[in-house]
Copies of this chain bind each other. A is one copy, B any other.
């Protein structure tokens, strides 16, 4: 048997290595159009930023290792240009010479990855405009900056993972950076109010944000720099432009093979990563996968799922029954010492799909015991089903401990867990690591309080005719007053309960929601229809558009 693997990075390389471990006799050929296999795509921005100084450390494995240890015929600089599924042959082109050859296969694995989105804008090919997709891309950007970037200006177009990581790394190299993003928020997998504090951080780091701004054209200035024009008429000068407009599945080869594509434009595969042609498997950024939370098909260009898919394709080819369970969209980004991470569905994605019966809460727990020095706040949003408490998604942002809480919730989502599971999770606790009621437990407890109707919640964007009751201490109200709110400090509430209106719902607010919860309990037991404003003042601040500083 001969297996031909097209693409030698995450999905392809994983598939090749596992295939060899499962079967010593199969002939394995792996072709890669670029000069490297198995390189650390996700490290490229940090190489540009000088955090990963040595380019060689990005090369996780090399063709020689694949040959020596795995007896795999690796061919770099070799592009697969066409598939003839009938005759089971692939046309390969040597990138350097242009020479074409034909390669036969018994099983074909496509791991072509994704291509950077590159709209046909005037001037988009000008020198000084870069993508960040390959090691040569990163090398070219480093060469262009040439040492310190101090006093130079960069424009990054696109506020997703790569765009933001480039913002950070260019800033580290001393450049002043402007981020241009078409949407009205960065990091679109996050709900807008959870992206706001990240945007606020970028501004505090002196990054200029141009949100809701589409680029119309690029031009060269007389002085030799670049000018980036946007729809609003603004013009941003730059010595360097990074295009990070996202990626789309590279399906050219799949089309040549006549494979069925999905609605989202990716290669359609079954749970064994088999395409519409039973002898062709596909893995990685080019395929459509099932979202286990929403049940819908989706594209997810991340290394973790690509690796697992490569393994499953190898299993399937060798006759094993492994199945890809789908994706849940767990992701993380570090920015200037802070972390944003999420897993599962966002509120907007659930709305887009017309889902109802969704509840949400906002909480602001400390990442470890408050009494131990250095406790940092984590801003968390949890989405869950009203009917059964199933966790649908979580988003978090903070300086410490964000990865851990999202990983716990991701694990629960994987197992169909509920907010009741989350409140009962027995997690690591010592004062420098967490709290006896961990931030993750706390999310579960608050959500369970909502579902048990102990603490109905309301949200700032839902404020209607209800009475706003502020139960904070007088000094706090003096520092930040809520217009139109009635003020009764929590400790006076029992004595002054007669002052609270009974003719309309009461939304109780405090700093983060904890005292409001207790006040809600008191009021409801006195027959007043009270709700807790989820997240209190902290969520209000997060929802208001952040003024540029």
Contact = CB atoms under 8 A, between A and B. Distances in A.
A526 interface: yes
B454 A371 contact: no
Contact of A411 (B40, B304, B408): B408
A45 to B, nearest CB: 9
A321 to B, nearest CB: 11
B52 A371 contact: yes
A412 B410 contact: no
A426 interface: yes
Contacts of A328: 426
A525 interface: yes
A430 B372 CA distance: 28
Contacts of A424: 308, 325, 414
Contact of A403 (B308, B404, B518): B404
A398 to B, nearest CB: 13
A42 B430 contact: yes
Contacts of A410: 425-428
Interface string A54-90: 0001101000000011110000000000000000000
Interface stretch (A20-28, A91-99, A357-365): A20-28
A328 B424 CA distance: 11
A434 interface: yes
A369 interface: yes
Contacts of A303: 429, 436
A258 to B, nearest CB: 31
A433 interface: yes
Contacts of A517: 21
Contacts of A431: 40, 42-43, 46
Interface residues on A, range: 35 or more
Contacts of A294: none
A371 B69 contact: no
Contacts of A120: none
A416 to B, nearest CB: 8
Interface in A460-506: 490-491, 494
Interface stretch (A138-146, A329-337, A377-385): A329-337
Contact of A40 (B327, B371, B441): B371
Contacts of A426: 304-305, 327-330, 343, 410, 414
Given A372-B51, A407-B404, A411-B408, A491 B429 contact: no
A427 B415 contact: no
Contacts of A133: none
A515 interface: yes
A22 B406 contact: no
Contacts of A42: 369, 429-431, 436
Contacts of A433: 332, 334, 339, 403
Contacts of A20: 518, 521
The oligomer's copy count stands at: 2
A304 B436 contact: yes
A171 B370 CA distance: 24
B403 A434 contact: yes
A306 interface: yes
Nearest to A300: B426
B432 A304 contact: no
Contacts of A70: 518
B521 A24 contact: yes
A52 to B, nearest CB: 6
A46 B372 CA distance: 8
A421 B415 CA distance: 8
Contacts of A434: 332, 403
Contacts of A115: none
A323 B21 CA distance: 47
Contacts of A21: 454, 517-518, 521
A437 interface: yes
A123 interface: no
Given A58-B371, A68-B491, A308-B424, 6 more contacts: A21-B454, A24-B522, A303-B429, A333-B430, A403-B433, A407-B428
9 contacts: A303-B436, A307-B437, A328-B426, A330-B428, A330-B429, A331-B429, A407-B427, A414-B424, A415-B421
Q: Which 8 A-B pairs have the closest CB atoms?
A: A303-B436, A332-B428, A68-B491, A404-B404, A415-B415, A24-B525, A411-B411, A21-B521
